A and B are shown apart, each in its own frame.
Chain A
Amino acid sequence: MKTVRTLLLACLALSALPASAADEVIVYSARTEELIKPLFDAYTGKTGVEIRYITDKEGPLLARLQAEGENTPADMLITVDAGNLWQAAERGVLAPYASGTLETHVPAHLRDPENRWYGLSVRARTLVYSTERVDPASLSTYEALADPAWKGRLCLRTSKKVYNQSLVAMMIARLGEERTEAVVRGWVANLATAPFSNDTQVMEAIAAGQCDVGIVNTYYFGRLQKKEPGIQLALFWPNQAESGVHVNVSGAGITRHAKHREAAGKLLEWLASAEAQGLFTSLNMEYPVNPEVAPDPAVAAWGGFRADPANVAEAGRLQAQAVMLMDRAGYR
């Protein structure tokens, strides 16, 4: 009994303390430390606002945010893939944050129509091919990779990765479920080997001659190119005459129960500003969302492309459908 009373008193004593300092923002991030810490450091250096964060996969972070409810310490959720942002918004853990600055910096199709989240960097998922064995003129669209001409020549990353789930989800939005399933079945039939666990392996397999063409996010190609400048691979921008290249975002939103809502809002605005956007593209070779910021020179060297203008939130709405479709098609 005595210990219980002591514990209770201790809790009450703790509760009398201020919950946290005023000049800080607490972030749950599914974007790895590697890619956010330099941004946070720059912001803290500039403004003196401390940023505390944990990183994890989006699933556990979202579960934690939901369970903590109004007692969450988190002010901001940063995650990759619009599908995850859409889920977070659907589950009510993000609050709308209207801001003129953000509206000018982030194009409409790269943010939530209800302002619950904003894209911060653009990731293009495109084709990569062997410059030794593939004539780029033989490439056209994602869908065309289902053609029997590519039998035994295609390498893919696992369907468990959200990037592929979003790609297929956006195809469902565009082509409908039936045609998309036929395409995915065609892909599976064309595989040279079982799907890989990451994009880099896909590219290395193409370079080694196990297959000729694959689908990857451009920044993985950038990293590999940096490591092996002479690698016999090139990017191809598909669907230019049709829907455009599939793009996705990493992004952030402010939590519904943020204790430092204003400070978090300022941070979010800064993340979309020219200064931070320059860091985004140079850190990870992604494309800036802010149209006024030029991509990193290495990124710009891959040439311009027409991106799919559909709102990336669709990827979230159709994600579960896409996952089930890929299961049916036998895409592991």
Chain B
Amino acid sequence: MTESQAAAGQPQHDGDASSAAAGAAPSRRAVLGWGGAGLALGAAAAGGAAAAFGGGTDMVSASAAGAAVPFHGEHQAGIASAVQDRLHFAAFDVKTKDRAELVALLKEWTAAARLMTAGLPVGDVYEGRPEAPPTDTGEALGLKPSRLTLTVGFGPGLFAKDRFGLEGRRPEALVDLELFPGDNLDPARSGGDLCVQACADDPQVAVHAIRQLARIGFGRVAVRWSQLGFGKTSSTTPDEQTPRNMMGFKDGTRNVSGTDQAALDRHVWVGAGDGSDWLTGGSYLVARRIRMNIETWDRTPLQEQEDIFGRDKGEGAPVGKSRERDEPFLKAMKPDSHVRLAHPDSNNGATILRRGYSFTDGTDGLGRLDAGLFFLAYQRDVRTGFVPIQRNLAKSDVLNEYIQHVGSAVFAVPPGVRDKDDWWGRALFA
């Protein structure tokens, strides 16, 4: 922070942030007293979001990249919300054995998430006691809310016997994933008792959010693994172009739209009669770290690349069609092509909502780009969502020659935080 910024004013972090989150969400900039543009943008976007919420989503115009996404709602933000540009995903091990401590942590996390998604720091940044480290680490100060969403999930370990008394509350649909053919899973990049998905248009905002939650959690939880992502590889807003993955292809054109309430209810949100009442309005998340063999892919002839996907590289049109969104004719594609095998029609209608991101973690020890797709899929039931699709792909997908699944985790994602008195997981621990 520059001196002029420091002199501009004190952050008003100690007020009731929930009112800020629910109404005209100020940008961090506005909060700092820079006034004007940031605040107006936040207000306009929040108004649009509020209107859209009546339709059951918290969609905001993707162009309002600095705006705040409402934190409170029937469903957690970060699932059907318009996909942001950046990701910081973290899985945590719960270290405490005390149920009350775990509950306290979830309440503190919720309060912190409420502030951060509104673009506010969590506690003091530079106006606290000089002897104490600042409560908020400060790297997001002066940045806009950047459509930050924080989405929490509960892993199977949380429901283990003799742990937190939750063994009877594990949903049947939260299955331990089978080992699929070709999987080469690293335990150090898999699993976790809790997860937090932070999505934002500014990577610094997403990184700050996870860092802050990890810090609040030290002693009660420990980060097990985390993943940074960039360049969303799927879109929940069909009016936009489908972004490209690291192989240069558009994939996931037929993703569930964040505004298609009927499709969301059918395929993404857990319904009232689905089994676990505490999860009604929630979802299930499957996270997979999929490494791509970038160098060999880049040596593959164009025709073969297009055959593998079943779409052309330029427009992304399905085989035999001219536009990306033309209805694919599956039988025109090779039987082992990726799009054909992943399509609901090849999987008895199985449909998932994808929110994947590209990742690049530098290079591996062999000089190869350590890159690929961090696949995030939300669904109403893992057994009828990800599992049949992945079985089909693992068995036959010709793309398998160029990819390998190296990390895996599954989580039950509770419903949204309703209001300022609510917290992540309240129904589970009730």
A and B associate in one complex = no
B binding-site residues for A, Cβ under 8 Å: none
A binding-site residues for B, Cβ under 8 Å: none
